[in-house]
Amino acid sequence: MAPAHPHPSQTPDSTRPAQRRAARRTRARIRARTTLSALAVAAILGATTVATAARPAAAASTAQPVNKPVPYSFAAGIAAELLTPGAAPPGSNDFGCKPTAAHPYPVVLVHGTFGDMTDSWQALSPLLANHGYCVFALNYGGAAGSIFQGYEEIAAGAGQLSAFIDQVLSATGAAKVDIVGHSQGGMLPRYYLDFLGGANKVDALVGLSPSNHGTTLDGLFGLLAAFPGGSSFLGSLCAACTEQAVGSSFLTNLNAGGDTVPGVRYTVISTKYDEVVTPYTSQFLSGPSVTNITLQNQCGLDFADHLAVIYDPVALNDVLNALDPAHHVPVGCTLVLPVLGG
| Predicted confidence (pLDDT) per residue in 70-123, tens digit | 999 999 999 999 999 999 999 999 999 999 999 999 999 999 999 999 999 999
The SS3 call for residue 269 is strand
Q: What is the mean pLDDT of residues 2-8?
A: 37
pTM of the model: 0.80
pLDDT at 50 over 50: no
Query: Do you find a cis peptide bond into 69, omega within 30 degrees of 0?
Result: no
Q: What is the number of structural domains in the chain? A: 1
Tell whether 310 is covered by a domain.
Answer: yes
Spatial distance between the Cα atoms of 241 and 110, rounded to a whole number of angstroms: 16
Residue 131 has pLDDT above 90, yes or no: yes
Residues 6 or more apart whose CB falls under 8 angstroms from that of 279 comprise: 216
Residue-level pLDDT at 45: 27
85 within a domain of the structure (yes/no): yes
Query: 273: burial class by Cβ within 10 Å (0-12, 13-18, 19+)?
Result: middle
pLDDT of 40 higher than 50 = no
Q: How confident is the model at residue 66 (pLDDT cuts 50, 70, 90)?
A: confident
* CATH code assigned at 204: 3.40.50.1820
287 within domain boundaries: yes
pLDDT in tens, 277-288: 999 999 999 999
Looking at residues 305-325, what average pLDDT do you find? Answer: 97
Average pLDDT in the chain: 83
Which residues lie closer than 8 Å to 295 by C-beta, 6 or more apart? 269, 270, 271, 272, 302, 304, 309, 312, 314, 315, 318
Report the share of the chain in percent with pLDDT over 70: 77
Identify whether 163 is part of a domain: yes
Confirm if 150 and 118 have CB atoms less than 8 A apart: no
For residue 20, being part of any structural domain is answered with no
* Residue 245 lies in domain: 61-323
Q: What is the pLDDT of residue 227?
A: 54
Contacts of 62 (CB under 8 A, 6+ apart): 97, 98, 99, 100
- Separation CA 142–CA 114 (nearest Å): 8
